[in-house]
């Protein structure tokens, strides 16, 4: 069996930790009245101050340092002067680039008091990612990840976005394989120890269809229902898996999840 590249895994832990700490840092600022531009500024500065760069900035023309996707925005929302208000839910997606390696992670934040339906969607999305993660080991098929997510969220009446997927990551931001968040058990490539990729399911309250706004980036649900997303960067090890983007403070997990 191939052994993991220990040095590569250490670099991924450093990049992943910086991305996770950036989201931890944002937590206290996500309150009613804050703009998504302000969150972007904190993200930019925190990563800079800790020796890295924000990979999204100028990536394929993306204008900001992170993605901020609120309510019915599925992903790739562009930070702006939009003011967050009580009851909003928002995904912030951060990718730190440090020492030549990328750490990519996102989580949901809650502004003030949010509805029960928002909590349920967010919880199911988080659980689907963690269920998919926890089965990772060498020898399994990539399709099992997607199948695990799809089976879990569809039972709850939600749908899996099909237009975006997880991805291989390391010195390159996005590389093969594509990690679909839906699919059939026992399909796709066989996982080997040493592989590194993201799992980042986008789950919609309504139908899975999305549309892209005129800015060329922002993806929203076509039926305007809520959407949630979480993302971790993970590595396949001889024993199973490692999460590179774990929060030291366990802040990824929704607080109301039992």
- List residues near ligand MF3 by CB under 6 A: 56, 59-60, 62, 67, 76, 93, 95, 104, 200, 217, 231
- Of 92 and 236, nearer to ligand MF3 (C-beta) is 92
By CB under 5 A, what part of segment 144-203 binds Co ion?
198
Q: How far is the CB of 15 from Co ion (least distance, A)?
A: 12
From the list Co ion, ligand MF3, none, pick the one residue 76 interacts with, judged by a Cβ distance below 5 to 8 Å according to partner type: ligand MF3
Contact window for Co ion (CB under 5 A) among 24-32, 93-101, 176-184, 235-243: 93-101
From the list Co ion, ligand MF3, none, pick the one residue 3 interacts with, judged by a Cβ distance below 5 to 8 Å according to partner type: none
From the list Co ion, ligand MF3, none, pick the one residue 245 interacts with, judged by a Cβ distance below 5 to 8 Å according to partner type: none
Pairing status of strand 89-98 against strand 53-54: antiparallel
Query: Cβ distance 52 to 100 under 8 Å?
Result: no
- Of 48 and 117, nearer to ligand MF3 (C-beta) is 48
Taking the C-alpha atoms of residue 71 and residue 160, their distance in angstroms, rounded to an integer, is 16
Burial of residue 190, with CB atoms counted within 10 A of its CB: 0-12 exposed, 13-18 middle, 19 or more buried:
exposed
From the list ligand MF3, Co ion, none, pick the one residue 59 interacts with, judged by a Cβ distance below 5 to 8 Å according to partner type: ligand MF3
Measured N-to-C along each axis, helices 36-49 and 6-26 cross at an angle, to the nearest 10 degrees, of 140
By CB under 5 A, what part of segment 215-234 binds Co ion?
231
Max distance between CA atoms of the chain, in angstroms, equals 53
By CB under 5 A, what part of segment 95-124 binds Co ion?
104
CA angle 155, 244, 142 (to 5 degrees): 45
């Amino acid at each position: 069996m191939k052994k993991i590249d220990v040095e590569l895994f250490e670099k991924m832990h450093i990049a992943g930790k910086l991305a996770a700490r950036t989201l931890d840092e944002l937590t206290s600022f996500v309150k009613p009245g804050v703009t998504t531009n302000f969150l972007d500024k904190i993200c930019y500065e925190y990563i800079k101050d800790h020796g890295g760069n924000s990979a999204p900035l100028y990536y394929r023309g993306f204008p900001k340092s992170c993605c901020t996707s609120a309510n019915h925005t599925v992903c790739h929302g562009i930070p702006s002067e939009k003011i967050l208000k009580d009851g909003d839910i928002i995904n912030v997606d951060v990718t730190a680039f440090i020492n030549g390696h990328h750490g990519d992670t996102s989580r949901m934040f809650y502004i003030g008091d949010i509805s029960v339906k928002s909590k349920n969607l967010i919880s199911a999305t988080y659980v689907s990612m963690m269920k998919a993660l926890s089965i990772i080991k060498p020898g399994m098929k990539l399709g099992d990840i997607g199948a695990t997510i799809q089976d879990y969220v569809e039972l709850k009446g939600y749908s899996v976005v099909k237009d975006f997927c997880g991805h291989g990551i390391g010195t390159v931001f996005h590389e093969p394989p594509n990690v679909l968040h839906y699919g059939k058990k026992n399909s796709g490539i066989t996982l080997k120890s040493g592989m590194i990729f993201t799992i980042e399911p986008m789950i919609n309250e309504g139908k899975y269809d999305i549309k892209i706004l005129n800015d060329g980036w922002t993806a929203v649900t076509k039926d305007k229902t809520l959407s949630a997303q979480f993302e971790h960067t993970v590595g396949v090890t001889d024993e199973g898996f490692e999460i590179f983007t774990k929060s030291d403070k366990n802040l990824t997990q929704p607080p109301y999840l039992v």
